[in-house]
Amino acid sequence: MIRIIFIFAFLLPTSLASVLDFCVADLKGAESPAGYPCKPPASLTVDDFVFSHFRAGNTSNFLKFSLTPAFVDQFPGVNGLGFSAARLDMEAGGLIPMHSHPGASELLVMVQGHITAGFISSDNTVFVKSLIKGDIMIFPQGLLHFQINAGRGKAKAAAILTFSSPNPGAQILDLALFGSKLDSALVSRTTFLDPAQVKKLKGIFGGSG
């Protein structure tokens, strides 16, 4: 029997050196535009392909949500595979404020409660929908969008998010404008917001300048 196996091994020469069926990220290596370098295939176990921390966070925060990412930095197995995921849990009144993902489109699957979500396209058309358990909504790459727990009373909401990149990025509008060091006068001038409004929000979001 050994001989047969040997013969088949001959069929599989790449197995001797590399298997690029997948490329689990070696997070200690230097990223390139294509992602992280691969961990040696021989060192991998099934746990490199499993993410076990995809559970609701216990945070009860200002915005009343928790987000559990499974992007390449948390889940190295998605490196090079073209997708990643995140879990969103929202308490009553929870809100994900206006933001965009510069590197990926987003697909949201409702698993609990009610969420009102929307995005705005390049031609300023607005697409808003009230979603219930069992709905999917997509948010194309780079466009501003938001999600709000639309449940009544103390109803929680939860969704599974997937992204078309292992590293989608996220630009949150208020943090970009008011939580950064962008000069307040520049913020005001480039957004047409009143200086007082800018100052107020800089105070809330901790920006300087």
Q: Does 188 bind its own copies (CB under 8 A)?
A: no
Max Cα–Cα distance, the chain, nearest Å: 81
Q: Does 155 bind its own copies (CB under 8 A)?
A: no
Contact pattern for its own copies over residues 107 through 146, marking x by CB under 8 A: x-xxx----x-xxxxxxxxxxxx-x--xxxxxxxxxxx-x
Query: Residue 200 and residue 115: Cα distance in Å, rounded?
Result: 28
Residue selected from 92, 150, 156, 174 as contacting its own copies according to rule CB under 8 A: 174
Residue selected from 35, 94, 113, 151 as contacting its own copies according to rule CB under 8 A: 35
Q: Does 43 bind its own copies (CB under 8 A)?
A: no
Shortest spacing between CB 152 and its own copies, in angstroms: 16
Task: Count the site residues for its own copies by CB under 8 A.
Answer: 143
Q: Does 195 bind its own copies (CB under 8 A)?
A: no
- The torsion angles phi and psi of 90, rounded to 5 degrees, stand at -125, 130
Query: Residue 115 and residue 182: Cα distance in Å, rounded?
Result: 32
Q: Does 90 bind its own copies (CB under 8 A)?
A: no
Shortest spacing between CB 92 and its own copies, in angstroms: 14
Q: Does 15 bind its own copies (CB under 8 A)?
A: yes
- Comparing CB distances to its own copies, the nearer of 26 and 155 is 26
Query: Residue 65 and residue 106: Cα distance in Å, rounded?
Result: 18
Query: Residue 58 and residue 83: Cα distance in Å, rounded?
Result: 26
Q: Does 149 bind its own copies (CB under 8 A)?
A: no
Query: Residue 143 and residue 163: Cα distance in Å, rounded?
Result: 13
Q: Does 150 bind its own copies (CB under 8 A)?
A: no
Query: Residue 80 and residue 166: Cα distance in Å, rounded?
Result: 7
Q: Does 62 bind its own copies (CB under 8 A)?
A: yes
Shortest spacing between CB 53 and its own copies, in angstroms: 8
The residues, any chain, with a CB within 8 Å of residue 161's CB and separated by 6 or more, are 85, 86, 87, 88, 106, 107, 108, 109
C-alpha pair distances (Å), 20 with each of 30, 99, 207: 18, 35, 44
Q: Does 58 bind its own copies (CB under 8 A)?
A: no
Residue selected from 58, 152, 156, 181 as contacting its own copies according to rule CB under 8 A: 181
Q: Does 92 bind its own copies (CB under 8 A)?
A: no
Tally of CB atoms within 10 A around 119: 20
